[in-house]
Every structure is written in structure tokens, then in C-alpha cells.
Chains A and B, each alone.
Chain A
Amino acid sequence: MAPPAIVELPSVSALQENIETSRTTFQTSSHPIYLHNLALSITHNLQYHHDWSSLTVHTHSGLTNSPLPRPVISGLPPKRAYIHPDEQVEILKAEHKSGKSIEQVPEREWVLPTHLEEKWSLAKFAAVFNALDTVPPNGRETLAGEEAEIVGHQWQGKNRQKRLLLATLHDDSTVVYYIIHDGIVKPRQN
């Protein structure tokens, strides 16, 4: 006996729903739809797997107003995504001196969505970095006076070396994150 024909498809996943609801806004975009879907998949992963907040997908460069090479995400991680090794030393010194631990406030980060099957090049990375500001828009605003007092301010906000998180999606929906610095930045002693 043949099994009865399937009449109903299973309900769509949360991720698919997320993509469907944003679909109408893609139609007018200059980027191909698959890049938008990619960005949404990564956004979904960041929001629900890694607890990121205030996620935004940027399609145009804040510096030149021309379209970015592809949609790029910015967001706020639950804790600081990167601390420069020299800054770490500075913080430890200050903590040792005062005997109090210094609270680390997360900074907004850029996230570049990619798929594992893609091939990148130095030229493409350079184009992305050239189009991005050091700090994503709507980042933490600090007063000039206040900023100088924060331990490690030389490595924070506008003073930091340009960086982004390379988010790579695989077909099994695994996403891995790697930090890419623009230029030579010494490694952290994990």
C-alpha cells in the first residue's frame, strides 16, 4: 500500500520566517537576494545563538554613501568581542594598582557575512575595509573628558585598528566567527 500523499508541508522554521518577512525590502536593493538571505541567516545566528543585540544590516557605506560590496551587519555583542593584548596588560596593571576590577563595556562590531563555498581575495577584503568606518554607526558615544579616563581608551572606539568579524556560514547552518584586522596587529595570548 502506498503511503498517503503528503498534503501539508511542515511549518517553516524561525529562520525562514525571518527571511520571508524581510523579503519585500530586498526587491529594491542593489545587492542580489542571496546576499541578503546570507546576512539574515548570520543576523539570526548572532541574535539567538550568541545573544547579540541592536543588529543592523547596512547596505550602503557610511563614508561614501555608495553601496557596500555586500550587506554588512553591525551589532552589540553581550561582552567585549576583542581586547588588544596591550590593552589587556594596561587593564591588569590598573586593576592590580586599585585592587578593583574594571568593568568592560562591549563595543559595537562589524560582521561580514560569507559562505564557506566562496572565494575571497586581498582585493575584496581591502574593498570592504575601505568602505567601512572604524566604528559602526550608533556606537557608544563618550564625552571627550570621560574617554581619557577609561583604562585602555587608546585601543577603544575611534582609536582602535579597523577590524571586523568574518562570519562564515556552512550548509549545515554552522557559523564560525574569525576576527580580521586591517593591518598588522599582534596576536592575543589566549
Chain B
Amino acid sequence: MAEPYDSVSEPIPISLIAGRYLLFDVNVVTYLRRSHNICGSLIGGIPQHPQQNVFLGLPVELMPEEAMLLVKKEIGYIVDDVAWHTQRFNTFQGEDRQKYLASLRFQGLKARKIAQGDALKRADNALRKLAISKGKKSDPSDATPNTSLDDPPDHSSDALFESDRVASPAPSSTAFASSEPFAITPSTSYSPSSLPQNTSPPPDPPFVPGYALFEHLHSRGYFLMPGLRFGSNFNVYPGDPLRFHAHFLACAFEFDEEIPLLDLIGGGRLGTAVKKGFLIGGEDPEADSESGKKMRTFCIEWGGM
């Protein structure tokens, strides 16, 4: 259905909808996670399980820091989805429109073909299992001479069941015989090839106070996730959050911003309780960037006394 993950090409369009930075393509999401340590958070409901919100699906929402980093590194660019959609929708006619509809139809056909192939394989497996179990059943009856007299009725009853079992998958497979393509619900209102290639200057993400710390940690290979669950700006993971526990609760501050000591002690206490360090950091506006001392970070742990 969708193109494989390898086919993702930079820069990646990031949809800006109602102030949120969203990604709708699962290949893009996988690619950013694997190649650029950007996770985002899944916020979409799952159609088959609409009544729960523990497991969520596409789209992925990016933190403003993540969006800004992608734009700054020219990995992605921001598309104002509403403006682009209205502009595109009014002029979406003729050949373009036909092409788009054809691509949807093609995807639908492909999906149907895959589903059909799976159904055939399932039926095949079931038949093979049936044949094996039948073979096992008939073996002991052959070995014992006493039951040989009862053989003919046994076989006939087997044949009855068999015809029943074979008959049942048949109607379902006829359902696939129709050549109608599956209905596809596209996650975006345009095909990827029709996106603006930086025709107009894309809107820049707004300035985020925690960005310097985000970039600093991200450049050191850390994965950053929203830090709400520990009351910080970010949770900092040493690798993919699916494989590692977080190392730090990171809070960003201005260099001269006053921090009440109780906040530091509270953060240190909480961090130690959950086996993490409490990290504070910010940018020194007076240091020159070449010395590498521009960002200052401090890690706070309980002293144990």
C-alpha cells in the first residue's frame, strides 16, 4: 500500500494543523525515529478499538522543539495544511485529478490483491492441516484388525465431515472474486509528489525556550520525549525509549533565571526516587560557541546522607 521506508526522501513535509506539528505517514515516522532520534507521540485513535486511549495510532504529533530541529537541520519543512489544502482543492482538476484518482484505485487494487493472497494462503494451510490430521487418524485404524470391519462406515462419515469443512471456506473466497478495489482512506489530501517544493518560505516554528537544551541533548544521541510524567520539560533516554529507561528529567532555564532551591531539591528527590538524574541546563549568552562551553548543564542526584 504505502511506499517502503527506504523511499522516504528529505526534506519531509510536517503538517501544521491548529498549532500542532503532525506526521501522517508511517514510513516517515519510522524513518525519523530510526535515523534522526525523533519519536514524537502517537495521538490518533485506532479504528478497530475506538473506545480506549492506551494504545494510539497515527498521526504522530511532534513537540515544537522537534519540529524546529527538523526544520533547522533541513530534514523537514513545515506545511500549513489548511492553506495548502484549500489552495490545492480548488485547482485540483483535469489530468492531476485523474492521476490522483488512478493512484488511489491502484492502491486499492494492490490492497485487495494482498488480502486475497492472504486468504488463499490461510485456506491452503487449513486444508493441509486437515489432510495431516486425517492421515494420523487413519493410521491406527489400519493397524488394528478388529476395527477393520467398521472401516467402510467410518470412511463414509469422514468424507461427510470433509466435504463440510472444504465447503465452508469456499463462499468466503468467492467474496474476493469481485475485481472491485478496496476503498482507501488517504491520510493526507494530496499525493506526496504534489507537495510544494519550498515554493514559498515555509512558516518557521515559533521560538521555544527549551530549544537550546533540546538541541544540546539531541546532538549527543539522546532521545527526548515530553516530560510531563515527571514534571519536567523532557524525559531524556540514552537510546530508543522502547528499549531504555530514561536517564534524566531535563528542565530548561534561562541562564540568569532564578531557580528556588526547593525546586532543585524537589527535582533531585523525585529523580533519584525514579532512578534518574535531574538535569538543568541553559545557554550562556556570554560564552563563545567555539569553546564548547556555551551550554551549561548540571545533574542533580540525592547525596545519600
Binding site for B on A (CB under 8 A): 50, 77, 81, 114-123, 125-126, 165-166, 168, 176-190
Interface magnitude class on chain B: 35 or more
Q: Is the CB of B303 within 8 A of A122?
A: no
The CA-CA distance from A183 to B297 in the complex, in Å, is: 5
The CA-CA distance from A121 to B264 in the complex, in Å, is: 10
Residues of B near A177 (CB, < 8 A) are 302-305
Q: Does B205 contact A (CB under 8 A)?
A: no
Residues of A near B260 (CB, < 8 A) are 119
Interface set, chain B 259-305, CB cutoff 8 A to A:
259-262, 264-265, 268, 271-272, 275-277, 279-282, 284, 296-305
Binding site for A on B (CB under 8 A): 217, 220, 238, 247-248, 253-262, 264-265, 268, 271-272, 275-277, 279-282, 284, 296-305
The CA-CA distance from A122 to B281 in the complex, in Å, is: 7
Q: Is the CB of B303 within 8 A of A121?
A: no
Q: Which of A50, A185, A190 contacts B299 (CB 8 A)?
A: A185
Q: Is the CB of B300 within 8 A of A182?
A: no
Residues of B near A179 (CB, < 8 A) are 300-303
Q: Which of B259, B264, B276, B281 contacts A178 (CB 8 A)?
A: B264
Q: Is the CB of B299 within 8 A of A187?
A: yes
- Smallest CB gap from B268: residue in A: A178
Q: Is the CB of A187 within 8 A of B281?
A: no
Tell me how far the C-beta of B116 lies from the nearest C-beta in chain A, rounded to whole angstroms: 52
Q: Is the CB of B300 within 8 A of A126?
A: no
The CA-CA distance from A118 to B260 in the complex, in Å, is: 6
Q: Majority SS of interface residues in chain B? A: mixed
Tell me how far the C-beta of B154 lies from the nearest C-beta in chain A, rounded to whole angstroms: 66
The CA-CA distance from A165 to B265 in the complex, in Å, is: 12
Which residue, A122, A177, A179, has most C-beta atoms of chain B within 10 A?
A122
Q: Is the CB of B253 within 8 A of A122?
A: yes
Q: Is the CB of A121 within 8 A of B258?
A: yes
The CA-CA distance from A116 to B263 in the complex, in Å, is: 10
Residues of B near A166 (CB, < 8 A) are 264, 300, 303
Q: Is the CB of B238 within 8 A of A122?
A: no
Q: Which of B262, B268, B272 contacts A190 (CB 8 A)?
A: B272
Q: Is the CB of B299 within 8 A of A178?
A: no
The CA-CA distance from A189 to B280 in the complex, in Å, is: 20
Q: Is the CB of B282 within 8 A of A122?
A: yes
The CA-CA distance from A176 to B265 in the complex, in Å, is: 8
Q: Which of A116, A184, A190 contacts B297 (CB 8 A)?
A: A184
- Smallest CB gap from A168: residue in B: B261
Residues of A near B302 (CB, < 8 A) are 177-179, 190
- Smallest CB gap from A184: residue in B: B297
The CA-CA distance from A126 to B286 in the complex, in Å, is: 12
Tell me how far the C-beta of A19 lies from the nearest C-beta in chain B, rounded to whole angstroms: 22
Q: Is the CB of A185 within 8 A of B275?
A: no
Residues of B near A189 (CB, < 8 A) are 275
The CA-CA distance from A50 to B303 in the complex, in Å, is: 12
Q: Is the CB of B255 within 8 A of A122?
A: yes
Tell me how far the C-beta of A4 lies from the nearest C-beta in chain B, rounded to whole angstroms: 44
Residues of A near B258 (CB, < 8 A) are 119-121
